[in-house]
Structure 1
Amino acid sequence: MNEELHKLLIVDDDETFSHVLARALGSRGFAVETARDADSAIVTARRQRPSSCVLDLKLGENNGLRLIPDLKAIVPDMRILLLTGYASIATAVEAIKRGAHDYLAKPVDADAVARALLDSDSGQADEEDLAEAPGAPLPLRRLEWEHIQRVLTECDGNISETARRLGMHRRTLQRKLSKHPVRERPAE
């Protein structure tokens, strides 16, 4: 690999996670820059022109999905890996539609991130692959989570509009969003 393939931008508002991941990927041959918000990510991308980006879905009050087209406009062939602690099929599909190459749920280790960034043979995931249902029906709480995530994505992360469309109080929606998603399959 040439040096250009190793330039990496990590965009995450969690300073500790970002620092640990940057050190781990740095030891794996990446030249790593970090940014804690969308504005500094744009500035860093313009200055460094990284070939890859690890982007967190939640950047404080902002949504990392909104940043994907801006980063792709700066470096069109940038490989973007979206990370989130709030994984859902709806956000995975939306991330791919906006130009992300891969999507991983936190917690994730540096080896998985490196594999996702360096595996150029796999190409973009198909929406059908992401939306494939598990063998057993999803639990009701998981279906609710998926629906909330889909509506939230349609509203570009606007909590008030999402709550209005779902017919629930804004605080109730925020409480549901602050919880980690339910497991896809009941424990056996």
Structure 2
Amino acid sequence: MDSEELDLGRDRSLLLVDDDDAFLKRLGKAMEKRGFAVQLAEGVAAGKAEVAQNPPAYAVVDLRLEDGNGLDVVEALRESRPDCRIVVLTGYGAIATAVAAVKIGAIDYLSKPADATDVTNALLARRSDHPVPPENPMSADRVRWEHIQRVYELCDRNVSETARRLNMHRRTLQRILAKRSPK
């Protein structure tokens, strides 16, 4: 075990940044039960303020926050504490954002819904460990639905523009958007 891992073992400070208040509090309580000293932040500004005041050893940062992009918090963490182990968490899983998160210093990228066990495993995994496949991965229908929702949001909820970018008929897209998300 190198000295970096030894230091992180003693310092169990954890910053959770998410704009979903209920999820944030639930995950915070679960991580406290696992021995972490948890600080909560509900957005980019609050996350950066917490990093400036007391840089944590661990962090879980939601990618899409109401007041900006969670990657801004990841960059602030890397500047303040380069040894911080950061997991990026998001409801909109995409390869491009996963690559961006890892390039700026995140050690892992988890799609919501991730539970406290998934988060703990990601935070404490050794660098040489390969991630364990999820017990209940998203179905292909759910992955498709998530992708359509992400493109729809990126197009500012414009159905015609989203249909054009996804190369599908506008009415087909409207029917998909009107349905509930698949499991």
Bin of the TM-score, shorter chain as denominator length: 0.5 to 0.7
The structural deviation recorded for 1:110 is 0.5
Which residue does the alignment assign to 1:106? 112
Query: Please, which runs of 5 or more residues in structure 1 have no aligned partner?
Result: 126-137, 150-156
Q: 1:94 is matched with which residue?
A: 100
Q: Is the Cα–Cα contact under 8 Å of residues 58 and 84 in structure 1 kept in the other structure?
A: yes
The answer to whether 1:168 aligns with 2:161 is yes
Unaligned ranges ≥5, structure 2: 1-5, 132-139, 167-172
Which letter does structure 1 place at the counterpart of 2:16? Answer: I
Question: Which AA in structure 1 matches 2:25?
Answer: H
List, as ranges, runs of 4+ consecutive aligned residues in structure 1 with deviation greater than 3 Å: 121-125, 157-160
Match of residue 49 from structure 1: 55
For residues 21-55 of structure 1, the C-alpha deviation after alignment (integer angstroms, 9 at most, x for no partner) is: 00000000000001011111111112222011100
What percent of counterpart residues are identical? 37
Match of 2:3 in 1: none
Q: Could you say which structure has the larger radius of gyration?
A: 2
Q: For residues 61 and 124 of structure 1, do their structure 2 counterparts lie closer, same or farther at Cα, with a shift above 3 Å needed?
A: farther
Q: Is the 8 A contact 1:102 1:124 kept in 2?
A: no
Task: Return closer, same or farther for 1:41/1:3 CA change in 2, 3 Å cut-off.
Answer: same
Instruction: Output the CA distance in 2 between the equivalents of 1:10 and 1:88.
Output: 21
- Number of corresponding residues: 152
Structure 1 stretch displaced more, 20-29 or 68-77: 68-77
Aligned-residue offset at 1:159: 6.0
- The amino acid across from 1:88 in the alignment is A
Task: Report 1 or 2 for greater relative contact order, CA contacts < 8 Å, sequence distance ≥ 6.
Answer: 1
Distance 1:124 1:71, change over 3 A: farther
Q: Cα gap change, 1:21/1:49 in structure 2, threshold over 3 Å: closer, same or farther? A: same
Tell me the SS of whatever aligns to 1:44.
Answer: helix
